[in-house]
Amino acid sequence: MPHSALATTAVGIGWRQPHYREVLDTSPALDFLEVHSENFFMAGGPSVRALEAARAQYPISLHGVGLALGGADDARPRHLDKLANLVQRIEPALVSEHLCWGGVAGNVLNDLLPLPYTEEALALVSSRVQQLQERLQRPVLIENLSQYIQYQHSTLIETEFLAALCDRTGCQILLDVNNLYVNAQNFGLDFTDLLAPLRTEMIGEIHLAGHLVTPECLIDNHGSRVCDAVWGCYQKTLQRFGPKPTLIEWDTDIPPLATLLAEVALATEQMAQSTAPSMAERT
């Protein structure tokens, strides 16, 4: 059955293979599941059957990692065909992609690379997003990227670029709070300042994840619990934009499902705190 848009207070998990069977068998209290689109491009097989079974129980969010909307090469038509077929088959609540490039001259790189934030890049990505939305017949969400390099010729910060992209195309933002925190720490930026260009209606979903601390920088590795600092940034985000569908991501060193459910409970608690009336409002 098709699923409608998620409630703003929805909290879900990135559904990965180690948890397929347990989620299907136990039906934990989750508001939605998110999967990487590319893992389900095949016509059939165990993974596709698992997704179809999950879709009968939960709203599904499709999160793409391979379309490379900012690449100088032409958009990947075969990839887009497979995504469109999956969207038609699953009828997801949300569809998202990353603001990145990932190849050149027909060579695909195994990474999501940041763009220079310029008017030229904005025009290219806007055209690609419009093509994507027209093909899918629905708005999409575009996620901010964790970054380890910056371009000297950028004329905008990433969130200004994303805000302009929303205005031009009608897309929304998948705001990865951990990515934004990682970038703020790596480049000496202020997290709150990075939120400033964004408006409430632009935010369609939030991601939370863990990161790796190294002597050189923070690395977004989705391999640990959400740290206290990122929870604090999540609270600032909720205070600024209100509740938004929120996802716990965990992609490396995947723990027992119970650990993810505990993170979901923390996100739900933080969201409830952000929407609770203050003492002044109650009196």
Query: Rounded to two decimals, what is the model's pTM?
Result: 0.94
The per-residue b/e assignment along 21-40, b for 16 or more CB within 10 angstroms, e otherwise, is eebeeeebebbbbbbebbbb
Distances (CA, A) of 237 to 142, 207, 246: 17, 11, 11
pLDDT at 276: 61
Write out the residue range of the structural domain in which residue 97 sits: 11-282
Say which residues have a Cβ less than 8 Å from residue 31's Cβ, sequence separation at least 6.
6, 7, 9, 10, 11, 12, 58, 59, 245
pLDDT at 74: 66
pLDDT averaged per 10 residues in sequence order, the chain, 283 residues: 75 98 98 97 94 98 92 79 97 96 66 90 96 97 94 96 98 98 96 98 98 94 96 98 98 97 98 69 39
Structural domain count, the chain: 1
| Residue 19 within a domain | yes
| Residue 5 within a domain | no
pLDDT at 108: 64
Residues paired with 172 in a beta bridge: 141
Q: Where do the H-state alpha helices sit in the chain?
A: 20-26, 46-55, 77-90, 119-136, 158-169, 177-187, 191-195, 228-241, 257-275, 279-282
Amino acid 211 reads H
Q: For residue 257, what is the domain's CATH number?
A: 3.20.20.150
| Residue 183 within a domain | yes
| Residue 1 within a domain | no
| Residue 4 within a domain | no
Residue 60 · residue 54 · CB < 8 Å: yes
Q: What is the DSSP letter of 231?
A: H
Burial class (CB in 10 A: 0-12, 13-18, 19+), 215: exposed
| Residue 108 within a domain | yes
Residues paired with 205 in a beta bridge: 174
Task: Find how far residue 59's CA is from the centre of its chain.
Answer: 16
Q: What are phi and psi of 94, to 5 degrees?
A: -140, 150
pLDDT at 109: 64
| Residue 3 within a domain | no
| Residue 49 within a domain | yes
